[in-house]
Amino acid sequence: MKTIEEYQEIVFNEVEKFRSTSRDMDLYDPVKYIMGLGGKRMRPVLTLMGTDLFDGNIEDSYNSAIGIEVFHNFTLLHDDIMDDAPLRRGEATVHEKWNTNAAILSGDVMFVQAFTLVTSCKPEYLRAIIDIFNVTAIEVCEGQQLDMNYETRDDVTLDEYLEMIRLKTSVLVGCSLEMGAVLAGATKEDSRNIYDYGMHLGMAFQIMDDVLDVFGDASIFGKQVGGDILANKKTYLLLKALEDANENQVSELNQWLETPSDGVATQKVQAETLILFREAIALL
């Protein structure tokens, strides 16, 4: 096994190869752009680790690993349109830099590129790879739909939230590891086990992200601390707070959730919510 940095180095190189061999056509400019915004490239790293773990040749997994990264970035591109997000990794989102039509169509072509790369594997593993990837891609779309639905609902339960992040985020982490294992010729049982491990890793990652938004150090976290609270975002912490709070606390919390986000109110909300969050966390 290599270090994470060594796997990352390989993935960075392969991503650059993908970017530099893109056809010279304006359709691909947003593809090169979003694939160049960086990130930890954790998913393809996990694919290579999965292959190494089962004594496979990691070079056999390069294409599928990059395919997963292209798929992940495709979902970011379309999600950013749907969320009307201005920034992605500190840079303008594709629909802001180009326009919505360019973002839709470039996303679509990335989706095909992802399928092409993921399925560029040894023939004996093709059927298994397609099946894992198709099921996962369907689930990611279902997760995004739930996420959008939950924005306008005020009765989302913690279980519903966990199922949403499982679909939207965690299954792709599981898929990344499982693909790596499959491409090393791992048994079906081992492949499923590593998928489950990856899925739980994905759940932990998302919940940690929610926690860091409240308790993190901005200089390490890389995002504004309290951003989820200001946006009234339904996170694990908010839903846990609502579930564990007593009647008075629920009513106070709901009052703040319904208060428009002017400067004074939001600071107060943030302070109040932080206290409730900490109380909720103490109950865990």
Judged by the rule CB under 8 A, the positions of this chain that interact with a second copy are: 25-27, 78, 81-82, 100-101, 104-105, 107-109, 111-113, 115-116, 119, 123, 126-127, 130, 134, 137-138, 141-142, 144-145, 148-149
Q: Answer left, alpha or beta for residue 109, where phi above 0 means left and psi between -120 and 50 means alpha.
A: alpha
What is the sign, positive or negative, of the torsion defined by CA atoms of 125, 126, 129, 135?
A: negative
- Coil, strand or helix at 22: coil
- Coil, strand or helix at 157: coil
Q: Which is nearer to a second copy, 115 or 221 (CB)?
A: 115
CA distance 177 to 197: 9
Q: Which is nearer to a second copy, 110 or 253 (CB)?
A: 110
168 CB-side CA count, 13 A: 19
Query: Residue 238 to residues 121, 163, 203, 208: CA-CA distances in angstroms?
Result: 43, 16, 16, 13
**DSSP characters over 215-262:** HS-HHHH-S-TTHHHHTT---HHHHHHHHHS-HHHHHHHHHHHHS---
